[in-house]
Chains A and B, each alone.
Chain A
Amino acid sequence: MSDLEYVIAPPGRLISIDWRELKRYRDLFFVLARRDIAVRYKQTILGIFWAVLQPFVTMVVFTFIFHVIGNVPTQFDAPYPVFLYVGLLFWRYYSETLTGSANSMISNAGLIQKIYFPRLIVPATAATTGLVDFGIGTVILTGMMIYYGYCPSLIGLLIFPLLLACAVICALGMGLFAASLNVKYRDVRHALPFFISTLMFVTPVVYSAQALDKHPIVKVVMLWLNPISGVISSARTALLSHQSVDWRILGVSTLMSALFFVFGLYYFRSAERYFADIV
C-alpha cells in the first residue's frame, strides 16, 4: 500500500492551489492539449493551412477597409499590413484563448462529471492550443517583416516572450473567470462573442494607440482595464521601430494581466467544487 493518504471533506473557506497535485497530473495536461490540437483540423482538406488562411484573409480585408477606405494611419511609417498583423497576432491569440477557456468546462462536461482531476487543466489546455496558431502566425509575421525589410531590435526580440506571457495570463485569467460563470449561467455563451467583437475595437488592433492621444481619458482607461492594448502597442514599438519600449505601458499591462490572472484563478478555484453538480 502506498503512503498516499488524503481526506475528502466539505470545502473550507481557504482557497489554495495544490501545486503538487497539478504536477502529478501534468501528463493529463499534455495529453489533453495534444487532443485539442490533433482534433482541431481533423477531417478538413486544408488542415493546418486554416491557421494561415484565416489571419491572412482578415489582414487583407481589414487593410482594405480600414487603411485604404477608412484612411486609418499606421505607426512608425510601417506598411499598414505589417502594423495590422502584429495587432491581429496578439488579438487572435487573446480572443481564441478567452473563448476556448470560457467554453472549455462545458465542452468537457462529460469528463468533469465522471472523473476527478484538477479542473484548472481544462482551461489551461485552451491557452496552450492557441499557442500553436500563435506560432504559425509568428512565422508569417517573420515572413512579412523580411518581405518589407524590417529587422527588429534586440530588445524587441527579448521582450517578445514577455509580451506573449502577458497575453497568456491575461487571456487565461479572464477565461477562468468566464468559464466559472459559464458553468452556472449560460448567458456567458451569448455575451462573450459580443464582448469580444466589441473589445476588438476598444483595443488598438486596427488603429494605433497614438491615435488616442487626443482622448487621454479613454487612453488611460483602456490601458488599465484592457491589458492586451498595452501588449499590442508595446509589440509594435518593439518590432517595428527602433524607439525604446514605453516601460510604463508595459509595466501597467503586466501588472494588470497578473491581477486578472490571480483573480480569475481564485474565482475559478472557489467555484470549481460545484462544477460537476451544475455543469
Chain B
Amino acid sequence: MTKPVIEIQNISKRYRIGAGKEPYLSLRDEIAKWLSPAAMRARRAQTELWALKDVNFDVSEGEAVGVIGRNGAGKSTLLKILSKITPPTEGRIVMRGRVASLLEVGTGFHPELTGRENIYLNGAILGMSCKEIARKFDDIAAFAEVERFLDTPVKRYSSGMYVRLAFAVAAHLEPEILVVDEVLAVGDMEFQKKCLGKMGEVARSGRTVLFVSHNMAAISQLCSKGAIIDHGRLDYFGSAQDAVKRYMAAISQRNGSIDLIGPTSNADETSDENTGVRFRRVFLTNASGDVCDTFFIGDEACLCFDVEFTKRVKAAQIGFIIRSVTSGNIYHCVTRDAGFHPTDLFGKITFKATFPRLALYPGQYVLTDLSIDTPTETLEFIQNALYFQVAEGGPQVYRRLSSHAAVVHEVPNWRLERDGFHVEGSSGLQETSGVADPERSDVRVGI
C-alpha cells in the first residue's frame, strides 16, 4: 500500500466569532440580523476567524505524527475535523482505515452507572461493537485494576480509578488510525507513563497515530514526524526531532528587550527630574545568554538592567516586581534581600538577576516597578517595563498546566513515611494556647 493513510488537502476552517463562540444566540438577535442584512454582512466580515488555513500534509501507514503549537493555534480544530466532529469549511481529507479518536479520556462516562456498564457505554461510544467489548472485557478490567469494583457506580470511584478505567477502554481500541488529543493531561505521572507506553506500543505495532501534546519529550520519543501549527497554518512538517527543535527555538526567539531611550519606549516613566541615574535598557536572557521573552517552567531566566550613572552613587538598592497580568504581583525582589549591596556606581553598569529555575505558571507577566533607591531618595522608577511570557510545556512539565490553576509552580520535595502517624507538639499546642476547648481555640485562630 503506497497511498498515504491520511491525506490532508488544503483544509481550512472558519469560525464566526459571535455565531460560533457565544454560548448561544437568542431568537431576537437573529431577527434583528434579518432586519438589517447590510449590517449583518459588515459584521460577518469582521468577526470571521480562520482557525485553520490551507493545511496540507500526508501521513503514511505506521507513522506517528506529533502535532505541536501554542494554545489556540488550531491543533484541536484539526483533530476535530479529522474525527468528523466538525466539518471543514474548505479542502478535503481522505482517510483510509478505521479511525478512533480520543479527544478526552472517559467521554460519555455516566456517574450513576457501574464500572461494567460504563465499559460497555464508553466502548460503544468509541466505536467498538458490543461483541468486541465483551471479548475484551476481562482485559480492560484487569488493565484498569478495578475488577473488585465493577458493580459499583463510577461516581463512587476515586479519580484515579475513574481515569484508569477510562483509559483502559480506550487502550483496547484496535483502530488503524488513532487520533489523540492531550490525553496525558490527566492522571498522575505513573499513569502518564503507562499511557505513553501504551501509545508507543500502538505506534510500534504499525498503526498510524496522530498525537497532540505540549509534552515535547513525549513527542520526540513517540513520534517519527512532527507538525507545527501556528495561527491556523502549517508552519513545519518533518521529522519530530526537528519539529520540536524548531518549535522551541521559535517560541524563545522573539525579542525580549526594551530600550528605554527615546520616544519608542512604552514604559511609563515616572521620575522626571534628572537624578543622574537612568535605566537604558531592560531585557531578559535565557540559559544560553540569548535575549528572549518566552520561557518554559524551570528554565533559567536572567533579568538584565542596563543603567547609566552620570553621577557617582555611593550605594544603591535595585528592586523590581514581577506581576502576573491576570493575578497581580508575584515577586518583589530587592538586592538587599540577597545580601547584595552594590557600591560605588558610575558609568554604564548592567545589573543581572538570575532565576535559576523560573517557577511561574504559563501566562503573561510584566516586569514592573523597577527602582533604584538610596537610603534617602528614589533615583529611578519605571513601571510596566517589559512583558514576558511563560509558555505551556517544556522539558520539566509532566502535565498540562492551566494558566488559571495557579501562579507559582513550586515543586516541593516529596517523601512518604510509613511507620504510623507522628504526633508532634499536640500537648505543646494546648499549653501555649492555654485553651482546652477546641471551639474556643478555633475562634482564636479565626481572629
Contacts and interface: CB of A to CB of B under 8 A. Distances in A.
A214 interface: no
A8 B24 contact: no
Contacts of A184: 24-25
Interface string A264-279: 0000000001101110
A11 B89 CA distance: 8
B1 to A, nearest CB: 6
Contact of A116 (B25, B85, B89): B85
Contact of A4 (B93, B98, B110): B98
Contacts of B153: 42
B113 A8 contact: no
A5 B94 contact: yes
A9 interface: yes
A34 B112 CA distance: 13
A7 B130 contact: no
A114 B110 CA distance: 15
A9 to B, nearest CB: 4
B74 interface: no
A38 B111 CA distance: 12
Interface stretch (B118-126, B211-219, B252-260, B282-290): B118-126
A39 B15 contact: no
B92 interface: yes
Given A28-B124, A276-B80, A11 B96 contact: no
Interface in B82-121: 82-98, 101, 103-104, 107-108, 110, 112-113, 117, 120-121
A31 interface: yes
Contacts of A187: 26-27
Contacts of A8: 81-82, 84, 87-88, 92-95
B88 A9 contact: yes
Contact of A42 (B83, B84, B107, B112): B112
Contacts of A197: none
B30 interface: yes
Given A4-B96, A39-B112, A39-B113, A115 B126 contact: yes
* Residue among B20, B121, B176 with max Cβ neighbours from chain A (10 Å): B121
A8 B99 CA distance: 12
A1 B103 contact: no
B332 to A, nearest CB: 43
B129 interface: yes
Contact of A115 (B26, B101, B117): B101
Contacts of A35: 110, 113, 117, 121
Nearest to A26: B129
A5 B84 CA distance: 14
Interface residues of B, number: 50
Contact of B24 (A4, A11, A186): A186
A10 interface: yes
B93 A10 contact: no
Interface in B57-92: 61, 80-92
Nearest to A273: B87
B330 interface: no
B113 A9 contact: no
Contacts of A30: 124, 130
Given A111-B108, A114-B107, A115-B107, A276 B86 contact: yes
Nearest to A6: B95
B96 A278 contact: no
A43 B94 CA distance: 47
Which residue of A7, A110, A115 has the most chain B CB atoms within 10 A of its CB atom? Answer: A115
A115 B101 CA distance: 7
Interface in B1-46: 1, 5, 15, 19-20, 24-27, 30
Given A9-B87, A27-B129, A35-B113, 17 more contacts: A1-B5, A2-B97, A5-B95, A7-B94, A9-B91, A9-B93, A10-B90, A10-B92, A11-B87, A27-B130, A28-B124, A32-B124, A43-B112, A110-B107, A185-B24, A185-B26, A277-B20
19 contacts: A1-B97, A2-B97, A7-B93, A8-B87, A8-B95, A9-B87, A9-B92, A10-B87, A27-B129, A28-B127, A34-B117, A35-B110, A42-B153, A110-B108, A111-B107, A113-B85, A185-B27, A277-B86, A278-B19
List 5 tightest A-B contacts by C-beta distance, closest first.
A116-B84, A31-B124, A8-B93, A9-B92, A28-B124
